[in-house]
Structure 1
């Protein structure tokens, strides 16, 4: 997998804020009281269930922002499939720093690995078809960049990143504009030539109307499998087709078999369970 890491300048504010929230006004009272100041330790980040790893750069930052001498040696980089009990990385250095940063590091790592794991499961389900699995804007506020990165780590792709990089005309836009034609015409006259336009439709009749104004993509919202199959035939390659709405791991393959180009799934980011990863002390 060719997975490009996110620049540290994007990650550090998130990790720094999380550490400051945890440290509060007096720091780590428990660790400072119990662990000798100069004590060193070796620990491992270990998978407590099978899954796909994502978020190691954030975990590394958490440890190193507390003490830059902490060393994180990665064995299974982001995007790797790991088995239960497998070592993902070794963390060594000042024990106080490791224990203080532990929860923040694991919060990021478990959350993002959960997203990557959920994404990978759906990607595997549609492997025999041409559809790509994409996320939506249903993200944790403030964590959009890293959650979308986790989707890529799981083999998925990204929908638009925000309101400013593409036009998605939804039902309320159409209702307020007074119709699909007016909405598309206003959108096309307002943006540059590099901005793509997608229109959400609920019925085949709406789809046929939208296609008359040449959108770049159509979002086929909450359509049945039969409707999706007819929609793909109606589009006939004139626009990118995206299926969305109440899609599950169990239904993804059947939907992909209709020939849609994209399947967008909100729960990949807003409801994916964490991947259970622990930090285990290794007595030298």
Structure 2
């Protein structure tokens, strides 16, 4: 089971989304059509098969709008659900629930879509030993939620931001004057707990990098043939990460080359939402 994110991290995102939706005058439709004291019972239900993530976002959207509302989750984040499955039931003030509906669904659908796509990649490489990881190609402001959704799908998180690991990419190498100078400078600057990863685009760069002992080498847009050659050269010396051009049609062949990690930007930048609805009962 994936450890949930604390409400402290989720609630500011939910409140900002609600403020954006409520605008300058609040929900004018609800105020015009719904009596102030009307009550509503409703159910969140998934409309196609998928992996669930984001139930706490839905709960907090409801509770921010109606602190006295009841929210009963019927499944957990990380569970698989078939089309028609009830995910949660809510009871509360009708105006509040209807005002919270779109934000709750936007986040729940988005995160469940990320989890569902991640699940597909993880299943595609089963038995190879390769791990599926996400990237920083996330929706601005939603990175913590989307990376949590990747974990719900069975994937692993890459670095969260620019501050938690060194990743020397092609432009860093170009400015520094080569792989060796870039790695030497990084090694001289960082503390003993900071990992160093280097992106390379050729076997020659990989060979050049190994004496500098990077922790991870990202093999960028390598063909399966070149990935196998890289594994033969460096397996066990560094963690080998394949990246670039990865999709569900290619990921199995990439994993079978023997790389340790496969990073997939599509997990977060191209995941279709999982269709979830809220219906009065």
TM over 0.5: yes
Whole-Å separation in 2 of the counterparts to 1:101 and 1:150: 21
Distance of 2:117 and 2:69 partners within structure 1: 31
Partner of 1:55: 54
Residue 44 in structure 1 maps to residue 28 in structure 2: no
The 5-angstrom pairing of residues 198-217 of structure 1 reads 198-217=197-216
TM-score normalised by L of structure 2: 0.98
1:118 paired with 2:134, answer no
Aligned partners of 2:187 and 2:70: how far apart in 1?
52
CA-to-partner distance for each residue in 1:38-64, whole Å, 9 max, x for gaps? 221111110011001111111111010
Q: Which residue of 2 aligns with 1:109?
A: 108
Q: Name the counterpart of 2:242.
A: 243
Report matched runs for 1:1-284 at 5 Å.
Answer: 1=1, 3-282=2-281
Partner-residue secondary structure (3-state), 2:113: helix
Indicate the SS of the match to 1:111: helix
- Mapped to 1, the partners of 2:280 and 2:225 lie a distance apart of 54
**Structure-2 separation of matches of 1:272 and 1:221:** 22
* In structure 1, distance between residues paired with 2:24 and 2:69: 23
TM-score (norm 1): 0.97
Describe the SS at the equivalent of 1:206: helix
Figure out how many residues of one structure are paired with residues of the other and give that number: 281
1:236 deviates by 2.5
Moved over 4 A (4+): none
Residue segments in structure 1 that go unaligned for 5+ positions in a row: none
Structure 1 residue 68, shift from structure 2 partner: 0.6
Q: Match of 2:194, SS? A: coil
Deviation string, structure 1 residues 48-92 (Cα, Å, up to 9, x no partner)? 110011111111110100111111111111101000111111111
Q: Deviations over 1:131-190 (max 9, x none)?
A: 110000111111111110010010000001111111011111111100111000100111
User: Secondary structure of the residue that 2:212 maps to in structure 1?
Assistant: coil
Counterpart-to-counterpart distance in 2, 1:66 and 1:167: 41
Partners of 2:15 and 2:191 in 1: how far apart? 37
